[in-house]
Structure 1
Amino acid sequence: MESTRHASDGRVPDGRGPGANPGFEEASASAVERASHFDSEGDDRQLGRTATRIIVVASCLYALFHLAVLNFWAIDEWMYRVLHVNLGAIIAFVTLRGFPFEKINRVYPWDILLALAALGCTIYVGMNLNMLLMRAGVITTPGDFACGVIGTIVVLEFTRRTSGLVLPLIALAFISYIFLGPVLPGILRHSGFQTANAFSFLYSQDAIFGLTVAASSRYIIIFVAFAVFLQASGVGDYFMRVAMACFGWMRGGPGKVSVFSGLFFGTISGSAVANVVASGTFTIPLMRRLGYPKEDAGAIEATSSSGGQLVPPVMGAGAFIMAEITGIPYAEIILAAALPCLLFYAAVFVNVDKHAQRLGLHGVKRADLPRFSSLKGDVFLLLPLYVLLYLLLTGYSIIAAGTWGLVSTVLVMLARELKLHSTVLVLPLILYTLAPFAGYAINVASLGASLVSAAVIVAVALATGRGSWSVAPVLARTCLDGLSDTTRKSLQLISVMACAGIVVGVLGLTGLSGRFSSVLLDIAGDSTLVAFILAMVVSIILGMGMPTTAAYAIAASVVAPALQQMGVAPLAAHMFVFYCAVISAITPPVAIAAFAASALSGGKPWATSVRAMRFGMAAFLLPFMFYTSPEILLLGSVGSTVFVFATALVAVYLFATASEAYLFGPIGPLERLVALTAGILLLWANLASDVAGLALAAALFAWCRYRGGATRLA
């Protein structure tokens, strides 16, 4: 197949994705559209050419505005957050249909009114900024009240258009609680608040423009842009080909390719459904062609794509939000997430392997796979990821690392358009590596590295006869499309962070968070295990039907404080809640990632979600280690961490055995129960439980091995 020869000359691939390569089969456009529907990102309008051009320019300016403020142009933090939310809302009201009955090529009067309302609130805050900083939520003028009410409505409608009804309805319920609290019984009762002050409070840095929007305004645009440009530069295609070369030939190969691709695509995006669509478009047809049942193919993709948000350094923007909420350093969070992430993907990988073994699924023929010799020359495509991680690990800010990682993707695209050998990217790799030692501010040094690299790449192209002025408009168009797409893909995350701010603000205003913690503690009594189980249930319920980032932001305010009151370390409590928010995407009855994957595979949604829970069994059990075995979060000595990780690897193997009912052959319910019990014992950092778990595991292995041998002899 042509995939074996793709980019074998070492030139930078064209970046059109796996679909550009005949070796990769793609899902149909209708299936992709059905899958995307589960993300509730809104229906894009198809306006006239002039209107579309204006929107593209506005979207590009919106993205560039963020990059400029974050790197070069200092403005007031509250004003920046207001512009971040309201300008995004204006773009959404113009570009997204509000209701199914609306014509797709028309903007309606209510859309214009909403856009003008967002603009008016922005102007009002800008004109009264200094006074609002002192009186918001305390002394409210009629103008403050009107701005608070209108601005809150704008945020709710913005969220509804991009994310569906779930989160706006939750926010409305919390807003209602402000006014109904005085008449409610028992623990839900509060003394009440003046209506004007309540809405002024909601439209302030204590609620809508609080911690959640602080995180989205600083990081989301940069890392969504990074993901968009990374895909355009051909890195996504490269990772898919590497995955096929590494795992495609193995037992159940496409399923293992799905695990790897989910890990890559999932870390950048904050949406499990977007991850499913990005990688599942290619991996699900491959699995189906090999013989995977529809529901199994969808379940593997849903599980691996959801788990991608557990992967450092971005964690689907969850790492940034966690750092903002807890005050824990970002570097500490991503290091703590590393081992649990490895365990999760080890568990899914083993589960997929046992599943393929049970079904007798083989890999793809080696002749039909990309060859490693064709991949070596493309290794420098990883320049943007190197720049991002290098600057992060050398102590520079998240913003600087994300910005120059983004700029480096443009260098990759330039080399691609000039059809140069990918080794030309060695120079920018060296220059970015030396930038921190140049004696200048990192932005100045990296800018110099970028300009010199671009000049040399162009000079090499001219010297080899590949230079052409036609490259400039093509690259400019690619960058414009990338910036415009960045804004479009950011709207959902921006809106849900603003709407989640309403919930967080009400919890703080009314003291409900503390009272909820008291209730949870009363139910749990002295049992930390019961508290964790209740916290998981509540977190998963809160996260159903919502993007992970919003689910975590809300659960972190409702559930995490209760765990911390029981003596759980803040990092462990918040990491636990974040894991629960992630797995809510594959948990029935609203398993949006599994439902999206079923649309791509053609399987039954509910059956797919049940299978996804089985493939992701470890994700429902591993988070309990954050309390029982805090060493897994690097909260212990090196020796104890290594031991805990080793026993956890055995545990996830046992969970896969229990899930797939296979160990040297099919096993029955009793053996599955023993495997599950042994795995749970090994997750508990206790010498007695480890010994018991290992003894049970050894007995199970011996029995299944003996029975398998006896069966073959018979």
Structure 2
Amino acid sequence: MSQDIKHLTEKEMHQLLSKYDRESNFYKYTGFMKWLVTILAAGFSLFQIYAALFGNIPLQLLVPVHLGFGLTLIYILFPTKKYVKKSNLFTIILDFLLPILSAGVGFYWVFEYKDLIIRAGNYNQLDFVMGLIAILLVVEASRRVVGIPITVIALFFLIYAKFGNYFPSFLSFRGLSYERIVSHMYYTLDGILGTPLQVSAKFIFLFLLFGAFLEKTGVGQYFNDLALLIAGKRVGGPAKVAVFSSALQGTISGSSVANVVTSGSFTIPMMRKLGYRKEFAGAVEAAASTGGQIMPPIMGAAAFLMAEFIGMSYWDIAKAAAVPAILYFTGIWIMVHFEAKRTGLRGLTDEELPDKKEILKKLYLLIPLFVIIGLLMSGKSATFSAISGILSTIIVGIIGMLLGHNEMKLKDIFFALEDGAKASLGVIAATAAAGIIVGTVTLTGLGLKFANGLIEFSGGLLIPTLFLTMISSIILGMGSPTTANYIITSTIAAPAIIQLGVPALAAHMFTFYFGIVADITPPVALAAFAASGIAGGKPIRTGAEATRLAIAAFIIPYIFVLSPQLLLVNTTILKTLWIITTAFVGMLGISAGLMGYWFRPMYWIERVLAIPAGLMLIVPGLWTDSVGLGILVLLFIIQFTTRKKMKKIANAEVK
């Protein structure tokens, strides 16, 4: 193995994660402060579990306390001194004051709950001050944890709410008083405490906590070992391991970058060792890790928001996302296979694979995932499913201890409570800031204005409207997490798509997809940059390769908007089976055309025919399926019958 191909140490993984994933870049405390953070974070998790188990806390109390805990931890773990070269008296005072204020605005609702209900719409001066402080704290917290883009957007919407009369054309409106803006943003369930933060408090936190507990069982490494066992010996084995492992990792991780670092530190060195190019190795991991967010049953935080926005059950969202997600990973898998065949890359040997018996002994580690899936399928609530999943991970951990596998120790239960709370901070900051955006939209009617403006700009045509939405989603996603990106685009752009006759599920899924692929789309492409940091390749080139591998994510959203049957909308079982079959064949054609290889290298005319034929098969319809299938069958015959002839010619030339 060459010197530039090595497995990352835990310290290197942390450094890489901190560099490309703002939400993981915590300040490292020691001594008393370290234990204070641990106790506070664990207390936060226990509060959320209590609220889920007993469900007797009204939203007007649950959500502010959720926000108060989150903001307090954010200002402790992302202190001012972290962002300045040298700490001074001002930063010391600020870092002492901000967590206290954060707790204060959160628990102000608890202390004044009855009085706030009584004086609704007639708030006093103290209410105004506390509300204003809450808004400022949320904006600054989003800047520290999430990034500049969402902070700028939230501030823009606040400015619009106040100075709407200065805006041109269809955006103009009379503007609102400071009192009205503050009261709406913090004392109603339509602003900061609105649907996004409510979903965070009720569902997202618990699933992140489930992921933290599951990680303590050692399931992350087990996913890698299981993927090695299933795909390691195949042609181009390590790359297929990366695809399979990242799909599994995505079921418990809501972050593309975190998925890249944890899974990629294992798979990328393997790919490099067997001869994969640096950029291709990084691109495979980046594309696969990004797709983890669209892979049911967990699908990242945005899917919970989608369920709430559309008014569907979470399981219905997961079912609708299943076929597109499988197509996405199928596309990457096929491209990896063709690349390996084209370049002659082998799979792993038996000596390079983990012990089969040892892997099978630990199948019980997958029990929590089956518990979650089974409960969601049976119609149980997301809350009940998450709590049951957490309980099942503890049971699995105990089983592991009894069997002597030692994946999870008793102290890990306590630290899982801490990790789950820390994992939620980015989501809390993003959903609270997005609440400002949603609150402004509901207060000013801006959403309808934007939708009408978007339709007018695109000439009332669906494809141009979709294209503009795609571009805006990718641009927003370059500096915002998927959660915030989805909230913004679904609030502003999705109504325009729905007005043009597209089902709400397809419109929201469209914005969701393009918010995700921003993680691999240059010039920012954080997941690709993180992967290039492991592989040692060029970041932009890695992002370009990842975009090519993830081409399905750029095609499929257009297809399911034009043909919602791909999301299992208004279709039968037989139609669904046919749609899935033709779509898989279509991905084969697209992948072969893009990679320039099938049974043998493809001529340019074969590539030109293969890609549109594949697209036609993905689009449900008798005419498109017939033409697409006919072209691919013809190409199959030509490729299959001429490959031996080309081999003979090649051998003759060598001689």
TM-score range, shorter chain: over 0.9
1:87 corresponding residue in structure 2 = 69
1:605 matched to 2:539: yes
Distance 1:560 1:235, change over 3 A: same
2:432 corresponding residue in structure 1 = 498
1:697 matched to 2:632: yes
Structure 1, unpaired ranges of 5+ = 1-23, 423-470
1:56 corresponding residue in structure 2 = 38
Pairwise CA distance, 1:400: 1.3
Q: Which amino acid aligns with 2:16?
A: R
Moved more, 411-420 or 503-512: 411-420
Moved more, 281-290 or 298-307: 281-290
Pairwise CA distance, 1:319: 2.2
Q: Distance in 1 between matches of 2:323 and 2:268?
A: 28
- Superposed CA offset, 1:651-670 (max 9, x none): 11122112212122223444
Pairwise CA distance, 1:133: 4.3
Q: Distance in 1 between matches of 2:612 and 2:300?
A: 32
Pairwise CA distance, 1:176: 1.5
1:510 corresponding residue in structure 2 = 444
- Superposed CA offset, 1:655-707 (max 9, x none): 21122121222234443222221122222223222222223323333444455
Distance 1:221 1:663, change over 3 A: same
**From 222, 225, 228, the counterpart of 1:238:** 222
- Superposed CA offset, 1:88-143 (max 9, x none): 1111211223343256999821122211221222243233334544766x544322
Q: Distance in 2 between matches of 1:67 and 1:304?
A: 32
Structure 2, unpaired ranges of 5+ = 1-5, 650-655
Moved more, 38-47 or 359-368: 38-47
1:220 matched to 2:155: no
**From 139, 157, 166, the counterpart of 1:174:** 157
Q: Distance in 1 between matches of 2:178 and 2:519?
A: 36
Q: Is the 8 A contact 1:42 1:163 kept in 2?
A: no
Q: Distance in 2 between matches of 1:355 and 1:634?
A: 32
**From 117, 127, 131, the counterpart of 2:111:** 127
Pairwise CA distance, 1:310: 0.8
- 1:20-31 to structure 2, matched below 5 A, reads 25-26=7-8, 29-30=11-12
Pairwise CA distance, 1:381: 1.9
Pairwise CA distance, 1:42: 5.8
Q: Distance in 2 between matches of 1:117 and 1:244?
A: 50
Q: Which amino acid aligns with 1:383?
A: I
Q: Distance in 2 between matches of 1:421 and 1:281?
A: 23
1:381 matched to 2:365: yes
Pairwise CA distance, 1:339: 1.1
Pairwise CA distance, 1:711: 2.6
**From 522, 529, 533, the counterpart of 1:595:** 529
Q: Distance in 2 between matches of 1:356 and 1:660?
A: 10
- 1:85-234 to structure 2, matched below 5 A, reads 85-98=67-80, 99-101=82-84, 108-133=92-117, 138-203=121-186, 204-234=188-218
Q: Distance in 1 between matches of 2:118 and 2:173?
A: 25
Q: Is the 8 A contact 1:86 1:118 kept in 2?
A: yes
Moved more, 302-311 or 88-97: 88-97
Q: Which amino acid aligns with 2:590?
A: F
Distance 1:360 1:103, change over 3 A: farther
1:615 matched to 2:549: yes
2:586 corresponding residue in structure 1 = 651
1:69 corresponding residue in structure 2 = 51
1:40 matched to 2:11: no
Distance 1:32 1:113, change over 3 A: closer
Q: Distance in 2 between matches of 1:327 and 1:663?
A: 44
Q: Distance in 1 between matches of 2:43 and 2:185?
A: 28
- Superposed CA offset, 1:520-579 (max 9, x none): 222333532232222222222222222111211111111111111111111111111111
Pairwise CA distance, 1:32: 4.6
Q: Distance in 2 between matches of 1:701 and 1:135?
A: 73
Distance 1:659 1:104, change over 3 A: farther
1:520 matched to 2:454: yes
Q: Distance in 2 between matches of 1:491 and 1:385?
A: 24
User: Secondary structure in 2 aligned to 1:250?
Assistant: coil
Q: Is the 8 A contact 2:304 2:314 kept in 1?
A: yes
2:653 corresponding residue in structure 1 = none
1:531 matched to 2:514: no
Q: Is the 8 A contact 2:18 2:25 kept in 1?
A: no
1:394 matched to 2:378: yes
Q: Could you tell me the percent identity over the aligned residues?
A: 36
1:544 matched to 2:528: no
Q: Distance in 1 between matches of 2:254 and 2:550?
A: 19
Q: Which amino acid aligns with 1:640?
A: K
1:626 corresponding residue in structure 2 = 560
For this pair of structures, how many residues does the alignment match?
640
2:3 corresponding residue in structure 1 = none
Q: Distance in 1 between matches of 2:380 and 2:294?
A: 22
Q: Distance in 2 between matches of 1:113 and 1:672?
A: 63
Pairwise CA distance, 1:348: 0.9
Q: Which amino acid aligns with 2:424?
A: S
User: Secondary structure in 2 aligned to 1:315?
Assistant: coil
Q: Which amino acid aligns with 1:671?
A: E
**From 325, 338, 343, the counterpart of 1:354:** 338
Distance 1:163 1:237, change over 3 A: same
1:285 corresponding residue in structure 2 = 269
1:482 matched to 2:482: no
- 1:417-496 to structure 2, matched below 5 A, reads 417-420=401-404, 475-496=409-430
Pairwise CA distance, 1:36: 3.4
- Superposed CA offset, 1:273-328 (max 9, x none): 11112211211111111211111111111111110111111111222111111111
- Superposed CA offset, 1:471-515 (max 9, x none): 9xx944211111111111111111111111111111222212111
Distance 1:165 1:678, change over 3 A: same
Q: Distance in 2 between matches of 1:345 and 1:43?
A: 29
Q: Distance in 2 between matches of 1:143 and 1:219?
A: 32
User: Secondary structure in 2 aligned to 1:94?
Assistant: helix
User: Secondary structure in 2 aligned to 1:663?
Assistant: coil
Q: Distance in 2 between matches of 1:45 and 1:329?
A: 38
1:681 corresponding residue in structure 2 = 616
Q: Distance in 1 between matches of 2:145 and 2:22?
A: 6
Moved more, 390-399 or 604-613: 390-399
Q: Is the 8 A contact 2:149 2:476 kept in 1?
A: no
TM-score (norm 1): 0.85
Distance 1:105 1:237, change over 3 A: farther
Q: Is the 8 A contact 2:17 2:25 kept in 1?
A: no
2:301 corresponding residue in structure 1 = 317
Superposed CA RMSD: 2.3
Q: Which amino acid aligns with 1:332?
A: D
Distance 1:102 1:247, change over 3 A: same
Q: Distance in 1 between matches of 2:333 and 2:7?
A: 22
Distance 1:134 1:208, change over 3 A: farther
1:340 matched to 2:324: yes
Q: Distance in 2 between matches of 1:375 and 1:483?
A: 28
1:640 corresponding residue in structure 2 = 575
Q: Which amino acid aligns with 2:12?
A: S
Pairwise CA distance, 1:708: 3.6
